Amino acid sequence: MEILVCVKRVPTVGGVLTLTADQRAIDTKTSGFTISPHEECAVEEAVRLVERFGGSVTVASLGSPVAEEQLRACLALGASAAVLLETADGVETGPVATAAALRTVAASGSFDLVLLGNEASDTGDYQVGIRLAHLLGRPVATGIKSIVVSDEGSLSVSRTYRGVLETFTLPLPCVVTVKEGINLPRYPSLPGRLRAKRASITRVPVDEAGPAPASDVRMTRLRVPDAPKKQATVLGHGPDAVPALVSVLAEIGVLS
């Protein structure tokens, strides 16, 4: 099974989210970067499928050259080839253009399966996988938490929705977007990390010149929502605080 996994480099945010002075991006001076969580699980799922059924995993990312860090992390997890769709630094590519760029990679190989995350953790557009599937003319299922390969060259994939299990049967080739929880990603092995360090990454420049699309969602600025200014009431230290805690629980009305 030949599998393409599309991943995105996103900031690692810890306790606070701060913006750049122009309010158009997250200030990442002090944060690290990681693979968007759903997509890390997509890579793990692809590696497991290939370990079981043979084939290989290719990873692709749209981003500036620094996104090579995330592609190498995918290689360390078991992907065997990586493609960087190279954009200029600091450019945010919207979902329509992202799907168009990913199509060039997805259509170039004979991939049985294209995996993506259900949504990127940073922009949360919820549509790149679906737009890519339409460009490729392939069926797609989203938000998937389980993939089972049937004998007849099709996938049985499922998700839970309002407490109901929804199962979709997709003929291969197809596109699937997954969510965290479909698996528990492995830690990269030392040989994997060494291999990833040496591996060559194919770079494909993405042509962003040309007129802006007539229709689009054009970001004006970002803002951090006003958090309720709460000052926690300290009930006490250690077990001595338990009587005060019990009073609060009674007040809230959770004690029967």
Partner 1 sequence: MTVFCLAELDGDAVADASLRALTLARGLAAGAGTGVAAVLFCDADLASALDLAAYGVGDVFAVSGVGGYAPVAWARVLAELLEADDAAPDMSRHAVIAGGTERGNEVLAHLGAITGLPMAANCVAASPADAGRLEIVRQRWAGLLLEEAVLDAPVALLTVATDAVAPEPAAAEGAATVHVVSPPVSEADLVVRAVESPAGAGGASLATARVVVGGGRGVGSADGFAPLEELAGLLGGVVGVSRVVTSEGWRPHSMQVGQTGTKITPDLYLACGISGAIQHFAGCSGAKHIIAINTDPSAPMMTRADYAIVGDLHSVLPALIEALRQRA
Considering only residues 212 to 241 of the shown chain, the ones binding partner 1 according to CB under 8 A are 213-225, 227, 230-239, 241
Binding span for partner 1 by CB under 8 A among 15-23, 50-58, 66-74, 201-209: 15-23
Do residues 206 and 83 touch, judged by C-beta distance below 8 A? no
Please, which residue, 194 or 224, has the CB nearer to partner 1?
A: 224
User: Minimum distance between the CB of residue 201 and partner 1, rounded to whole angstroms?
Assistant: 27
Cis amide leading into 185 (omega within 30): no
Please, which residue, 198 or 237, has the CB nearer to partner 1?
A: 237
User: Minimum distance between the CB of residue 249 and partner 1, rounded to whole angstroms?
Assistant: 7
3-state secondary structure 55-98: CEEEEEEEECHHHHHHHHHHHHHCCCEEEEEECCCCCCCCHHHH
User: Minimum distance between the CB of residue 233 and partner 1, rounded to whole angstroms?
Assistant: 5
Please, which residue, 54 or 211, has the CB nearer to partner 1?
A: 211
Do residues 41 and 144 touch, judged by C-beta distance below 8 A? no
Please, which residue, 190 or 214, has the CB nearer to partner 1?
A: 214
State how far the Cα of 193 lies from the Cα of 150, in Å rounded to an integer: 32
User: Minimum distance between the CB of residue 145 and partner 1, rounded to whole angstroms?
Assistant: 9
User: Minimum distance between the CB of residue 12 and partner 1, rounded to whole angstroms?
Assistant: 10
Which 55-114 positions form the footprint of partner 1 (CB under 8 A)? 94-96
User: Minimum distance between the CB of residue 251 and partner 1, rounded to whole angstroms?
Assistant: 9
Which 33-52 positions form the footprint of partner 1 (CB under 8 A)? 37-38
Which helix (H) or strand (E) covers residue 154, if one does? strand 154-161
Angle ∠(137,139,141) on CA atoms, nearest 5: 140
Which 161-180 positions form the footprint of partner 1 (CB under 8 A)? 161-171, 179-180
In sequence order, which residues have a C-beta less than 8 Å from that of residue 20 and are 6 or more positions away? 26, 27
Helices 128-136 + 95-108 axis angle, to 10: 50
